[in-house]
Every structure is written in structure tokens, then in C-alpha cells.
């Protein structure tokens, strides 16, 4: 489903976190949302889930205005730990299945195996990296038209990260899903991405097709990101 943000603003108290952001995100594509710490990536994703409301502008998914009810269309992996720590892994999965009618239990079990997670283990006994894997299992097992992943690889060791990035592609429904991944792991996710969006101080300062970068400019996403950030920093110095 198409996700549309039109001139979206978000303020927390006196501070503006997202400034006049407009985006048009299409099904069948994977978008990378990148930017320095505190630039507004998580806030942008949260607004797409209906967890946080914009102060101005509009967000729609397939034409429907985003409110909390949109959660039936959006699977969201939060950067935060949102588990009931006394639950076992399998109880957490059963809880998800009870909350979301689109939760695919079979797929969740396949993913659990792939991520080498013990279903009987209590969440409080899992390492940070394994809790990260469980978050991925839960988000990827929902059949939703929109999939939003906020720092899905944080806490995962580099070898695992690489294999998860590779396998991620096989768990995304390319006919239906619009996928947005907010991350600092720019190099690692580059092979997954169709388009990349840079957000800096709450504003979208760049958006491009990854293929164009590679084929026409001969640079990586990270190189492009660094060049845009260098321009921004020069501008900040000039002021």
C-alpha cells in the first residue's frame, strides 16, 4: 500500500523534531531511512504507525488517514524493548497471535529456527542480541501491507547481521509490502534497498534510487550520505 506524508511537522514541547516532511512510499519497495542521531527517523516511523500524531500535515496509508487503528495494516519493530520479560519466547508469539489476526504462526516458527532461538526460553534470560532477533521474528511474521523496522540490526553481531540482511529479503512480500528501515548500518543494508532517504535535523535532505547511485554515479549509499552531510555541515558553518 502507498504511504503518503504531506508537509508533516512534529514538535515536542518547543523543539521541532520533524520539519515539513513529504514522502511518497510505494508498495514493493524497500526504503532506507538514514541520518545522524536525533535527526527524526524514529519520530517519522512512529507517526506512520499512528503512535505519535503530527502537529501539522497529513499521513495516509492507501488513502486512509493514519490513526492508532492503522495498526492492523502496519507491522512495526520498535527500537525499544517492548517485551513481557516473564514470558517465554513461545508465549510471546502466542500473545502476538492473539493481538494480530494477520500473525503467521507457521512463519514465526520457521523464523525462530532460522534465528536459532529457543521457544522455551524466558525473555528475561535472552541476551540483547537474541531479544533483537525475537523482535525481528515478531515483526516479519505479520502479514501487513506496511512493514516499518526501526534499527532492526542493533545489538546483533556482525556475522549474524550479515546473514539476517541476506535472509530478510526472502521474508518480505514484494508484491504487497511497503518496507521502511531506519538504520545506522548503512553499508550492511545497502544490498536490500531500492531507495534511500536522508533525514537531517528533521528535514528530508536527500532521496535517491540506490541503483542510480551505483550505476550512474558509481558511489555507495554511504559515500552519497557522507557527501550530503558534508554539504550540510559546510552550510551550518557558513551561517
Ligand X SMILES: Nc1ncnc2c1ncn2[C@@H]1O[C@H](COP(=O)(O)OP(=O)(O)OP(=O)(O)O)[C@@H](O)[C@H]1O
Residue ranges that bind ligand X, judged by CB under 6 A: 12, 17, 35, 37-43
Give 70: exposed, middle or buried? Use CB within 10 Å, 0-12, 13-18, 19+.
buried
Query: CB of residue 146 vs ligand X: minimum separation in angstroms?
Result: 18
In the bound state with ligand X, the residue whose beta carbon lies nearer, of 184 and 214, is 184
Query: CB of residue 106 vs ligand X: minimum separation in angstroms?
Result: 33
The three three-digit cell numbers of residue 59, written as one number: 499521513
Distance CA 90, CA 148 (A): 23
In the bound state with ligand X, the residue whose beta carbon lies nearer, of 128 and 166, is 128
Query: CB of residue 163 vs ligand X: minimum separation in angstroms?
Result: 24
In the bound state with ligand X, the residue whose beta carbon lies nearer, of 176 and 201, is 201
Give every CB contact of residue 194 below 8 A, 6+ residues apart in sequence.
29, 30, 31, 209, 210, 211
List b or e across 155-177, with b for residues whose CB sees 16 or more CB atoms inside 10 angstroms. bbeeebbeebbeebeebeeeeeb
Query: CB of residue 187 vs ligand X: minimum separation in angstroms?
Result: 16
Query: CB of residue 33 vs ligand X: minimum separation in angstroms?
Result: 8
The three three-digit cell numbers of residue 140, written as one number: 516479519
In the bound state with ligand X, the residue whose beta carbon lies nearer, of 12 and 84, is 12
In the bound state with ligand X, the residue whose beta carbon lies nearer, of 12 and 174, is 12
Distance CA 70, CA 52 (A): 12
To which residue does cell 532506507 refer?
Answer: 32
Amino acid at each position: 500500500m502507498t504511504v503518503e506524508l504531506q508537509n508533516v511537522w512534529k514538535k515536542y514541547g518547543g523543539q521541532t523534531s520533524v520539519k515539513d516532511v513529504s514522502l511518497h512510499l510505494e508498495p514493493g519497495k524497500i526504503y532506507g531511512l538514514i541520518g545522524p542521531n536525533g535527526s527524526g527517523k524514529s519520530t517519522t516511523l512512529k507517526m506512520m504507525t499512528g503512535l505519535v500524531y503530527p502537529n501539522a500535515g497529513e499521513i495516509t496509508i492507501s488513502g486512509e488517514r493514519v490513526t492508532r487503528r492503522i495498526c492492523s495494516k502496519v507491522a512495526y519493530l520498535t527500537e525499544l524493548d517492548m517485551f513481557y520479560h516473564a514470558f517465554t519466547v513461545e508465549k510471546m508469539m502466542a500473545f502476538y497471535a492473539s493481538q494480530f489476526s494477520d500473525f503467521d504462526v507457521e512463519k514465526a516458527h520457521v523464523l525462530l529456527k532460522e534465528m536459532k532461538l529457543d521457544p522455551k526460553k524466558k525473555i528475561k534470560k535472552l541476551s540483547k542480541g537474541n531479544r533483537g532477533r525475537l523482535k525481528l521474528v515478531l515483526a516479519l511474521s505479520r502479514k501487513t501491507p506496511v512493514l516499518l523496522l526501526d534499527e532492526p540490526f542493533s545489538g546483533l553481531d556482525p556475522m549474524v547481521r550479515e546473514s539476517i540482511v541476506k535472509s530478510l529479503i526472502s521474508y518480505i512480500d514484494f508484491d504487497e509490502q511497503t518496507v521502511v528501515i531506519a538504520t545506522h548500518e548503512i553499508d550492511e543494508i545497502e544490498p536490500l534497498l531500492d531507495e534511500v532517504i536522508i533525514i537531517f535535523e528533521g528535514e528530508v535532505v536527500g532521496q535517491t534510487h540506490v541503483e542510480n547511485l551505483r550505476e550512474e554515479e558509481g558511489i555507495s549509499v554511504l559515500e552519497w550520505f557522507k557527501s550530503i552531510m558534508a554539504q550540510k555541515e559546510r552550510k551550518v558553518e557558513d551561517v
